[in-house]
Amino acid sequence: MKISLAIAKEAGKNAPIVLRGSYTENIKKAAKMGYDAVEIHVNDPKTLDIHEIQKTCEENNITVSTIGTGMGYTVDGLSFTDQDSVVRQKAVERIFEHIQVAKELNAKVIVGSMRGKVPNTSEYDKYEGYALDCFKAVMENAEKQGVIITLEAINRYETNFINNVYEGIRFIEKVGSEYLKLHIDTFHMNIEEKDLTESIKLARAALGHVHFADSNRWYPGAGHLDFEAIISELKEINYSGVIAFECLPLPTQEEAALKGFEHVKQYM
């Protein structure tokens, strides 16, 4: 398993992004702290200087694991369940752009907040149908480009659409693409899952990406989650992918990155 750190040029005060500011500076910082990879969160992927990022990664022996796309929803309001087909189309096109960048960086693309919400649960099937159509278009593109997409289960206070591992697996089965994987996040799991280790077992073959944050969304070790048990279960299912720290930059960005790393490393 590799450890990655969420970085972004700009992020809201309450966004769970650890290092904020220059991508190149933060890639260097993460590498120096011992991270294997960074997870780049970006709204418009066209703004990224891919060659600069690739060069910095090569020089510092670090990789880009994943592209976080949630700002497409939180900043630009794009989602796969929007009532307006024009907005859904824009959301799909935004993910196409992320896929292009991810291909160049040999990274995966996360679809978390951009799957959207179901505004009216009595019409659940209609909105799920919108999301399925969007995912089918996204997966056709992702398969052509050879890029893995990860669908994140997100807690009920942020969305009412795909909150847990069971729902994530069911939806992935409906999409039916080998390139679509499940993405779990320990912060969301602590709210939604009955038993975190049982849910990791259930995710098993479908699992494509993992976010670590503690129960309070601080760095691992700052709350009450049992990361020893979580890591042990990830080993048990032979998960060989990436664990990205997606936590609040508290008490400071550097302390969150360093202390989380230290806490998790002891169980790896």
- Cβ contacts of 92 within 8 Å, gap of 6 or more: 80, 134, 137, 138
**C-beta of residue 70 within 8 angstroms of C-beta of residue 112:** yes
For ligand LER, the closer CB: 28 or 206:
206
Please provide the distance, in angstroms rounded to a whole number, between the alpha carbons at the two ends of the chain. Answer: 8
Query: Is 112 a binder of ligand LER (CB under 6 A)?
Result: yes
Q: Does residue 154 bind ligand LER (CB under 6 A)?
A: yes
Distance CA 42, CA 95 (A): 11
Instruction: Give the one residue of 97, 185, 192, 233 binding ligand LER; rule: CB under 6 A.
Output: 185
Q: Is 82 in the site for Mn ion (CB under 5 A)?
A: no
From the CB of 68, what's the least distance to ligand LER, in Å? 6
185 contributes a contact to Mn ion by CB under 5 A: yes
* Active-site residue, selected from the candidate residues 39, 152, 193, 233: 152
For the question of residue 128 being annotated catalytic, the response is no
Q: Taking CB under 5 A as the rule, does residue 246 contact Mn ion?
A: yes
Contacts with ligand LER: how many residues (CB under 6 A)?
A: 10
Q: Show the tokens assigned to 56.
A: 């910095």
Question: Does residue 39 belong to the site contacting Mn ion (CB under 5 A)?
Answer: no
Number of H helices and number of E strands within the chain?
A: 10, 9
Query: Is 239 within 8 Å of 1 (Cβ atoms)?
Result: yes
Report if residue 116 touches ligand LER, rule: CB under 6 A: no
Place of tokens 């969305």: 159
Kind and range of the H or E element at 196? Answer: helix 196-203
The residue ranges that bind ligand LER (CB under 6 A) are: 16, 70, 112-113, 152, 154, 158, 185, 211, 246
The residue ranges that bind Mn ion (CB under 5 A) are: 185, 211, 246
Catalogue the active-site residues: 152, 246
